[in-house]
Amino acid sequence: MTGLITLRHEVEQTRFRREQIDDSRTAIPAGTVKSLEKALRAEIRGEVHFDDGFRALYATDASNYRQVPIGVVIPRDVEDVIHAVAAAREHGAPVLSRGGGTSLAGQCCNVGLVLDFSKYLIRVLEIDPDRRTARVEPGVILDDLRNAAQAYGLTFGPDPATHSRNTLGGMLGNNSCGVHSLLCRKSGRGLRTSDNTHSLAVLTYDGLGMEVGPTSDDDLERLTRGAGRRGEIYRALAGLRDRYADRIRRDFPQLPRRVSGYNLDELLPENGFNVARALVGTESTCVTILEATLDLVPNPGARSLLVLGYPDVFATADHLMQILDLDPTALEGMDHLLFEWISRKGDERANLSMLPEGRGWLLVEFGGDSKEDADQQAHQCMEMLKRQDSRPTMRLLDDPHEERMIWEVRESGLGATAWVPGQPDSWPGFEDSAVPPARVGEYLRDLKSLMNRYGLNPSLYGHFG
């Protein structure tokens, strides 16, 4: 009954919000919506939903944004996607691809036709252990890919905390990173999904299907001389690069985790004019992704977790650069509030006795071919830290159950810090800030000062590496 009441409330709120939106905010007129729905039902083998209840379910994601879609299509196959985009184009409707709905900044919400890939387009099509690549459909859950790759001793490096439910298509749209992005760094790759994307099969709004990826000088010359829409697109991209290459090189922030804006730097000659990587992070504004070929990295045979305790979360950044030099596979920071608030909810995982003394902690994971190898790397880190000023307290865990509990606390951060007993409701806001690792401590102190000025008391945690 509770579920029905909640759904009814969502429908009522959706109806109210729809009535408050003026015509300029609705994507297409009501009569055109009915025509679009009819056209979709005639062509789509999958599911077509235009009722208020279903639209309410897709009006939000994990953020505090709400945009009621025109309708929802759950395509059964690629042909359904092609028909849906064609119908949207003929009726002047925007299109938004949606994955697992775990976005924190409204990326899965829009007044458009939503395409949900997470029900049917969920196949890992191929694992190539020699090339270390995986070919996937956009609705594949990240953990499903990782489980398939594990049989070959491989994994996909980027892994958001929502890895058990977020889709690869969503990660491509959002250009996700995650706890174990440092595995990519250890293998000589960048931290982002874009850095670990080989090629994409895409569909443009005007109906052109093509495969995009790295482009040699000879191939680019051939493509820009080509006839038709594909030639037009490549000429436009090459022209964009030529006009702005110097400004891109000069002004793009040099951040390992820069995910804001379009990856125009991937079109530079020194980056191989990689159109696939340029499209990662564009959130359906340029193409609909039909299939992706992703780069995999070796998955460590064993891992060891070293927990470092500091006087506060700001001090956890003091040794980041020295620790990064030792190539950990994960480097996460969190403050005392995260554990305190989870504990208030009666969660046994928030057991401070598992941690070394402190009010801020670093979780430093090392991966090796064996447990002895991983432990040796952790001991090397401990010896290095003993020689530092203001050395932290330390504990090298050897209980798999405790390790799992600590990682679960870190992964539950967003949910754990929302709706805390005795605290005002909180909303996503400054999540996933991106700064150079060398300036994390400075940034956190400034951010906390800003929050204090407005009477806010956030828990500070994240991918400190």
pLDDT tens string 260-284: 889 999 999 999 999 999 999 999 9
User: Does the structure show a pLDDT above 90 at 132?
Assistant: yes
Note the pLDDT of residue 265. 96
In the beta sheet, which residues pair with residue 315? none
Half-sphere exposure of 349 (CA within 13 A, CB side): 17
Note the pLDDT of residue 114. 97
User: Does the structure show a pLDDT above 50 at 379?
Assistant: yes
Note the pLDDT of residue 188. 87
User: Does the structure show a pLDDT above 80 at 80?
Assistant: yes
Task: Specify burial of residue 285 (Cβ count, 10 A radius: 0-12, 13-18, 19+).
Answer: middle
Give the pLDDT mean for 405-412: 76
* DSSP strand pairing (330-335 vs 360-368): antiparallel
At residue 187, φ and ψ (nearest 5 deg) are -95, 10
Closest C-alpha among 200, 147, 151 to residue 171: 200
Note the pLDDT of residue 347. 65
CA distance 85 to 206: 8
User: Does the structure show a pLDDT above 90 at 421?
Assistant: no
Residue tagged 């889709």 (tokens): 167
For residue 116, give the 3-state DSSP assignment: strand
User: Does the structure show a pLDDT above 80 at 120?
Assistant: yes
DSSP H helices, 21-139, are 30-43, 52-57, 78-91
For residue 193, give the 3-state DSSP assignment: coil
* DSSP strand pairing (113-116 vs 95-98): parallel
Tokens of 263: 């990856």
Note the pLDDT of residue 197. 98
How many C-beta atoms lie closer than 10 Å to residue 281's C-beta? 25
CA distance 155 to 355: 29
| Per-residue pLDDT tens digits for 251-265 | 998 888 888 889 999
CA distance 193 to 294: 9
Question: Torsion angle, CA of 46/49/54/58, rounded to 10 degrees?
Answer: 70
Residue tagged 């003091």 (tokens): 318
Q: How long, in residues, is the chain?
A: 465
What single letter denotes the amino acid at residue 92?
Answer: G
Closest C-alpha among 329, 323, 317 to residue 381: 323
Give the pLDDT mean for 189-215: 96
Q: Are 320 and 464 in contact (CB under 8 A)?
A: yes
At residue 363, φ and ψ (nearest 5 deg) are -100, 115
Note the pLDDT of residue 438. 92
DSSP letter (8 states) at residue 455 = T
26 pLDDT band, cuts 50/70/90, is low
Note the pLDDT of residue 11. 38
23 pLDDT band, cuts 50/70/90, is very low
Note the pLDDT of residue 266. 97
DSSP H helices, 217-319, are 217-224, 228-251, 275-279
For residue 320, give the 3-state DSSP assignment: helix
Give the pLDDT mean for 356-362: 94
18 pLDDT band, cuts 50/70/90, is very low
Q: What angle do CA 262, 443, 361 make, to 5 degrees?
A: 110
Tell me the percentage of the chain whose pLDDT exceeds 70: 90
CA distance 398 to 47: 49
Q: How far is CA 12 from CA 15, 19, 50, 115, in A?
A: 5, 11, 15, 23
Note the pLDDT of residue 353. 74
Contact partners, residue 246, CB within 8 Å, separation at least 6: none
Least confident interval from 44-48, 191-195, 461-465? 461-465
User: Does the structure show a pLDDT above 70 at 20?
Assistant: no
CA distance 256 to 178: 12
DSSP H helices, 45-151, are 52-57, 78-91, 142-150
Closest C-alpha among 273, 281, 173 to residue 233: 273
Q: Is 338 or 252 the better-scoring residue by pLDDT?
A: 252
Task: Report the chain's terminal Cα–Cα distance, integer Å.
Answer: 45
User: Does the structure show a pLDDT above 60 at 14?
Assistant: no
Radius of gyration of the chain (CA): 24
CA distance 369 to 383: 21
Chain mean pLDDT for the chain: 89
Tokens of 100: 């697992």
